[in-house]
Amino acid sequence: MIDLPDSLTQTTKDAPSCERCGATTRVGEGLCATCLLREGLEAEGEASSQIFESVLAEANVPDKQWRLGNYEILEEIGRGGMGVIYRARQRHSRRMVALKRVLAYQADSHETLARFRREAEAAAQLDHPNILPIYEVSESEDGLPFFSMKYATGGSLRAAAPALRNQPNECISLMAKIARAIHFAHGEGILHRDLQPGNILLDGRGEPFVSDFGLAKWLMGESDLTQTITTFGTPGYIAPEQAESAASDLTPAADVYSLGAILFNLLAGRPPFVGENVLSVIHQTAANPAPKLRALAPSLDRDLETICARSWNAIRERATKPRVIWPKISNAGWRAVRSSHARSMRRFTFGAGRDVTRFSPALA
């Protein structure tokens, strides 16, 4: 079991304070949002770069080859609203890892720390060959939490999607492995809730790994983290019920829907719903039935269209029983039978209630 650092449960009053003004609104190492704001407001005329340079001059800014705990940071490889991801090298083992750290200006956000803690706990609990493993959870000298994980050298499924567009067999093989990983997570009582191509990583051989459990939900029991997180996933890949319902109402069918949406994107070249903005996509998802795969890609086999359709029907058939934790998705899940585009898959059924998955040796 990986021990979580105290900073992941730290309250604002426990956070280190600024030596200049005493505030706890940290921005980075030696930086304070309150001081930055005060400098800008007190300046005469239009704020200029000199104002910020005077504050930054007092900060302890590391050089290009800096260290974080037992890791040497090599380069930044990703950044989001909550954290930043680096390619790093473990100092003693020399192992290459990906290292995720909370963004400094988010360090005093209860929701950010809760989500970071959720991601670390969920991924550390799930030991599966297609779930990205976490190696260590720790914190920096200034109290910012971070964790190291497997470095997937092949990038994300989102980046690989264009090359897979005309390879339905490869798409099916990848999705079978991803679905087995999610089925395993469900068996451990964890929903992902943010399955989308950017959260599926690939290694150098093209093997997929499910990552980013920052929105994960525990199926059993009341979790304070479940009540804290308000973000609801990625528009275009979430089920209508996920955008409209409380977290406690969601079931494994929500993840099944997302898996179907990912497969649709791989085969059709776009998500089921697209729009000019996020609200437009959410509205379409809630108001309109999902399009048929072969309407966009008529050359594809009908069985591939069936996989997507059944993944969406799974959650729609659940609408009348929103609080049943383990619905009979095995009968309304997604299934592929032998076809010209899926010969390697003898039969595939994704079930949330029980293991009804059967694979050909090629996918085992």
* 3-state DSSP assignment of residue 304: helix
DSSP string, 58-84: TS----SS-EETTEEEEEEEEE-SSEE
Torsion sign over Cα 15, 21, 25, 26:
negative
The two structure tokens encoding residue 198:
């950017």
Residue 1: name the closest of 83, 103, 121 by CA: 121
Torsion sign over Cα 75, 79, 84, 85:
negative
* 3-state DSSP assignment of residue 37: helix
Q: Please give the radius of gyration of the chain, using alpha carbons only, rounded to the nearest integer.
A: 22
Q: Euclidean distance between the first and final Cα of the chain, in Å?
A: 28
- The CA-atom distances, in angstroms, between 22 and each of 33, 58, 143 are 11, 16, 17
Q: How many residues are given for the chain?
A: 364
Annotated catalytic sites, by residue? 194
Q: Residue 74 and residue 5: Cα distance in Å, rounded?
A: 24
CB 304 within 8 A of CB 336: yes
Backbone angles phi, psi at 195, to 5 degrees: -75, 125
Buried residues in 254-289 as b, exposed as e (16+ CB within 10 A): bbbbbbbbbbbbbbbeebbbeeeeeeebbbbbeeee
Most distant CA pair in the chain: distance in Å?
A: 74
Pairing of strands 200-202, 134-139: unpaired
The two structure tokens encoding residue 83:
């954290």
Pairing of strands 134-139, 208-210: unpaired
Instruction: Indicate the residue type of 358.
Output: R
